[in-house]
């Protein structure tokens, strides 16, 4: 299908920013074979979708069967999206989901909107909802899993594209001389966060080892970043857009972060990652992709593969077992390569 001019493809991924960033190789493959790519994202993923090379337009929709804080199912809301898709009249749609999500409700809506060809990964029998029902080994890294769906739908990466994560460039200018270490203490899921006191200890230890440390976080994490930065780090909590965060990570020697969006953003700009990885989901699927990475955390802990949002084990041992000295050693390993 590469080179099929005039085609509009609707690509859907309806959860978080990190999940959207992992779709980058898939999106570029689809863009190589389409004239226009419209990305349907959730509220938390729309800004990330705008950073993906190959995306021409981004739609935002709060999906009742995907979001962790789902809105009620509303007939008017479904009808509005159906009519919007009908007006777009895409030639086809590619629905990307995580292994625990079903593409079939959205496929039903898109089929009702007249989309003539729909592709998705589906364990469940899709009946006439899918034209391409792709099956895949769920132990693939997420970018490879998504790219395999694009291939099944008939799209291939262009020559010279190695399939790594990427963002649109140029990135915004930032006011920090490159070579610092970024520590991002927050996480979208509490079970994946390193305890704040450990983060603060790591900032002090990294500064004592001679590193400039910038502490990042979202607008709702300013109290956390201020406490973690203390007097040894620079607090940038709530001070960056996602594109500015990408630029900040691009200038870092290494990033210290849990399994959350900025880990994948760091990978998308090619920066090494010290990954504080709680094994509630498998690292083989969700670890930073395509960049040098040191994985810290007990991957055999009792919370393994539970997909827990709140730590089910008293004391959060999978990550409290990681010390500030472990982080300093991991950073030194990455920056001296």
State pLDDT tens for residues 196-207: 999 999 999 999
Name beta bridge partners: 296.
276
User: Residue 169 domain-assigned?
Assistant: no
User: Residue 167 domain-assigned?
Assistant: no
Kindly state whether residues 194 and 104 are assigned to the same domain: no
User: Residue 104 domain-assigned?
Assistant: yes
Domain enclosing residue 223, as ranges: 181-335
Can you give the pTM of this predicted structure?
Answer: 0.95
* Tens-place pLDDT, residues 76-87: 999 999 999 999
Kindly state whether residues 138 and 207 are assigned to the same domain: no
User: Residue 1 domain-assigned?
Assistant: no
Kindly state whether residues 138 and 186 are assigned to the same domain: no
Kindly state whether residues 196 and 139 are assigned to the same domain: no
Domain with 34 in it: what CATH number? 3.40.50.2000
Helix axes 242-250 and 261-268, enclosed angle (nearest 10): 60
Tally the domains of the chain: 2
* Tens-place pLDDT, residues 248-303: 999 999 999 999 999 999 999 999 999 999 999 999 999 999 999 999 999 998 99
Sheet containing 213-215: give its strands across.
Answer: 234-235, 213-215, 181-184, 254-258, 273-276, 293-296
Kindly state whether residues 188 and 328 are assigned to the same domain: yes
Top pLDDT among 3 and 230 is at 230
122: Cα within 13 Å, side-chain hemisphere = 21
Kindly state whether residues 14 and 146 are assigned to the same domain: yes
User: Residue 325 domain-assigned?
Assistant: yes
User: Residue 230 domain-assigned?
Assistant: yes
User: Which letter, b or e, does each residue of 175-213 get, where b requires 16 or more Cβ atoms within 10 Å of its Cβ?
Assistant: eeeeebbbbbbbbbbebbbbeeebbbbbbbbbbebebbb
26: Cα within 13 Å, side-chain hemisphere = 31
């Amino acid at each position: 299908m590469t080179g099929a001019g005039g085609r509009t493809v609707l690509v859907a991924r309806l959860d978080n920013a990190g999940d959207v960033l992992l779709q980058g190789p898939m999106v570029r493959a689809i863009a190589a074979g389409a004239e226009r790519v419209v990305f349907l994202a959730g509220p938390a993923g729309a800004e990330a979708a705008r950073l993906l090379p190959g995306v021409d337009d981004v739609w935002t929709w709060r999906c009742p069967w995907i979001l962790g804080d789902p809105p009620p199912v509303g007939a008017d809301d479904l009808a509005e999206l159906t009519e919007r898709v009908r007006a777009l009249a895409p030639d086809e749609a590619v629905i990307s989901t995580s292994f625990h999500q079903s593409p079939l409700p959205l496929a039903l809506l898109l089929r009702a909107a007249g989309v003539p060809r729909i592709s998705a990964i589906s364990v469940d029998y899709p009946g006439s909802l899918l034209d391409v029902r792709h099956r895949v080994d769920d132990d693939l890294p997420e970018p490879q899993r998504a790219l395999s769906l694009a291939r099944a739908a008939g799209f291939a990466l262009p020559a010279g594209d190695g399939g790594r994560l990427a963002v649109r460039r140029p990135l915004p200018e930032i006011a920090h001389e490159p070579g610092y270490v970024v520590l991002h203490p927050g996480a979208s899921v509490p079970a994946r966060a390193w305890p704040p006191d450990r983060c603060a200890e790591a900032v002090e230890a990294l500064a004592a080892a001679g590193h400039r440390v910038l502490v990042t976080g979202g607008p709702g994490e300013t109290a956390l970043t201020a406490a973690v930065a203390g007097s040894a780090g620079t607090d940038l909590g709530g001070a960056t857009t996602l594109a500015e965060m990408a630029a900040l990570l691009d200038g870092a020697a290494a990033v210290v972060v849990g399994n959350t969006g900025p880990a994948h953003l760091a990978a998308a700009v090619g920066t090494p990652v010290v990954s504080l990885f709680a094994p509630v989901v498998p690292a083989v699927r969700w670890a930073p992709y395509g960049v040098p990475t040191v994985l810290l955390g007990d991957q055999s802990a009792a919370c393994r593969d539970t997909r827990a949002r709140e730590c089910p084990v008293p004391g959060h041992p999978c990550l409290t077992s990681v010390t500030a000295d472990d982080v300093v050693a991991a950073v030194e390993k990455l920056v001296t390569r």
